[in-house]
Amino acid sequence: MLNHLWGYLILFGIGFGIITGQVEALSNAAIDSAGEAVTLSITMLGIMAMWMGLIEIAKRSGLLDSMTRGLHPILHFLFPRIPANHPANEYIAANIIANVLGLGWAATPMGLKAMKELAALERKRLHADTSGKPVTKASDEMCTFLIINISSLQVIPVSVIAYRTQYGSVSPASIVLPGLIATTVSTLVAIFFCRIMCRRGEHKQ
């Protein structure tokens, strides 16, 4: 679906450039953007590699386990049906911590692992085949986790600060307070919405 969407947008842009006689400007913009994309990717790759390394060190040293235990009351409130010792808790905690630090790219691998564990948990719950058969319906935990990721509370938006620095912002860290306010509100609304929908689903059952 996204491939088709991007394809249509590219074709629309090229067609609009031809119609308006801006083919040269379109070509120059495409070449300049390609160069900027490579430069930005290298910058973000370094930031992502650093934080992924720190997360791996935290995991091996036991710090991540301590953080998971510290987040246990929050995780239990958000995901009451996940067992306390389930691996999904560790991945969810790592994902939340990375998002709080504004490391959306670093949070993605942990988020994918968390979704995989949640899918396995849902298969067990449905007494279905656990050999790898895909879950065709998302569980409450999977939906809650996805929505909280989208709302994404951020105390230090490292990725956004890096973007602003890359493009020459005079004060790249000035986004911290507005970002904190916006993401706090969005996360509270997301949690409120998830709890209402989960309770409604429980009543229907």
Distance between CA 98 and CA 93 in Å, rounded?
A: 9
The Cβ-side half-sphere exposure at 98, using a 13 Å CA radius, reads 29
What does the pLDDT look like over 140-170, one tens digit per residue?
Answer: 888 889 888 888 888 877 778 877 887 788 8
**For 139, which DSSP code?**
-
| Residue 87 near residue 68, CB atoms below 8 Å | no
Judge if pTM exceeds 0.75.
no
For residue 110, the model assigns a pLDDT of 83
100, 96, 134: which is closest to 114 by C-alpha?
Answer: 96
pLDDT in tens, the chain (205 residues): 667 887 888 888 788 878 887 778 878 877 888 877 787 778 777 766 777 777 778 778 887 778 777 888 888 888 888 888 888 888 888 888 888 877 777 778 888 888 888 888 888 877 655 455 566 677 888 888 988 888 888 887 777 887 788 778 888 888 888 888 988 998 899 888 888 887 776 655 5
